[in-house]
């Protein structure tokens, strides 16, 4: 195995190179770029997916790795940024690919129980695991997006992430606490998105959307239901499947508390439904985007 760099000159790799990872790299390009590489499973799929991901690497000026061992074996810091439903599988794969002595930052929106299982396999392989929760959309803050971290290697993780000019706060407590804060919050955030989708679709079909929005604005002044609804549908159209995976993890978390997870489960269904439609949210208002959803449902 190649010798890993000292932490004083960060050398990082990303497992999964989607919107969040690219946003971090974009931010670092203006403030001080670490030696960065990435591995994304899409590069194992021949055709447009592989070509598109390689183009992302070139555009962002990082080294694209063709296999996981290449990505991990010579770096000190691993950012795991896959979808929530793949987070444990990514940890297992990393544990088999040379993770020893590396700091493994699990930034995925997974249940505390999933994070604990991932910790066990990373630590058993000689890695140092940290639970990291990304607390808001990565645009426009990029690498300065607020993140929480919890776990036994908190001091080291905080030092490394601050060296990378990241906006990190350590949460006292074990692995899973940072993610618990994120996912309990997500029940509200992604739940409201699902509520907006169902409300707007029903309102458009019944021809009562304007009256409903006016009534809601009167009841909840300042919330801006039309704007929120438009934004919710935009996020669901672009990221619905990823958000659905997050809400499935939220449902797992709630169920493990012996509580009904009905809201998380319903939000996951709506997020997955709209995300799978692969719609272009080009229409700028809530009613126009609701019409796109209705048309897609009617086609089915």
- Indicate whether 3 pLDDT > 50: no
Helix ranges (DSSP H) in the chain:
19-31, 48-60, 68-72, 87-95, 112-124, 154-163, 177-206, 209-219, 225-256, 262-276, 286-299
pTM to 2 decimals? 0.92
pLDDT in tens, 51-102: 999 999 999 999 999 899 999 988 999 999 999 999 999 999 999 999 999 9
Burial class (CB in 10 A: 0-12, 13-18, 19+), 48: exposed
Q: Which residue has the tokens 């444990």?
A: 88
- Say what percent of the chain tops pLDDT 90: 91
Mean pLDDT, to the nearest integer, of 233-248?
Answer: 97
Could you give the angle at the alpha carbon of 143 between the alpha carbons of 33 and 148, nearest 5°? 130
Q: How confident is the model at residue 8 (pLDDT cuts 50, 70, 90)?
A: low
Residue 159, SS3 per DSSP:
helix
Task: Sketch out the chain's domains with CATH numbers.
Answer: 11-173 (3.40.50.720), 179-299 (1.10.1040.10)
Average pLDDT in the chain: 95
Pairwise pLDDT comparison (3 vs 27), residue with the higher score: 27
pLDDT in tens, 156-192: 999 999 999 999 999 999 999 999 999 999 999 999 9
- Indicate whether 11 pLDDT > 80: yes
């Amino acid at each position: 195995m190649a010798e890993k760099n000292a932490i004083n000159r960060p050398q990082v790799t990303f497992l999964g190179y989607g919107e969040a990872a690219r946003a971090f790299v974009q931010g670092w390009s203006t403030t001080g770029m670490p030696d960065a590489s990435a591995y994304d499973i899409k590069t194992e799929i021949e055709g447009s997916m592989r070509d598109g991901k390689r183009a992302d690497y070139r555009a962002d000026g990082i080294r694209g790795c063709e296999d996981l061992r290449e990505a991990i074996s010579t770096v000190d810091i691993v950012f795991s940024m896959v979808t929530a439903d793949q987070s444990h599988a990514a940890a297992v794969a990393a544990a088999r690919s040379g993770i020893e002595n590396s700091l493994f930052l699990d930034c995925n929106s997974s249940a505390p129980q999933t994070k604990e299982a991932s910790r066990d396999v990373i630590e058993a392989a000689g890695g140092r695991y940290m639970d990291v929760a990304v607390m808001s959309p990565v645009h426009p803050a990029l690498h300065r997006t607020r993140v929480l971290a919890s776990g036994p290697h908190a001091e080291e993780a905080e030092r490394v992430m601050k060296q990378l000019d990241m906006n990190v706060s350590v949460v006292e407590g074990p692995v899973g606490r940072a993610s618990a804060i994120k996912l309990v919050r997500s029940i509200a955030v992604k739940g409201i998105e699902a509520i907006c989708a169902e409300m707007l679709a029903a309102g458009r079909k019944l021809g009562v959307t304007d009256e409903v929005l006016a009534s809601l604005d009167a009841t909840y002044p300042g919330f801006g239901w039309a704007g929120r609804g438009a934004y919710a549908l935009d996020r669901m159209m672009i990221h619905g499947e990823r958000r659905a995976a997050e809400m499935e993890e939220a449902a797992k978390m709630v169920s493990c508390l012996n509580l009904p997870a009905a809201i998380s489960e319903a939000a996951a269904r709506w997020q997955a439904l709209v995300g799978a439609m692969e719609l272009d949210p080009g229409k700028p208002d809530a009613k126009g985007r609701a019409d796109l959803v209705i048309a897609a449902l009617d086609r089915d």
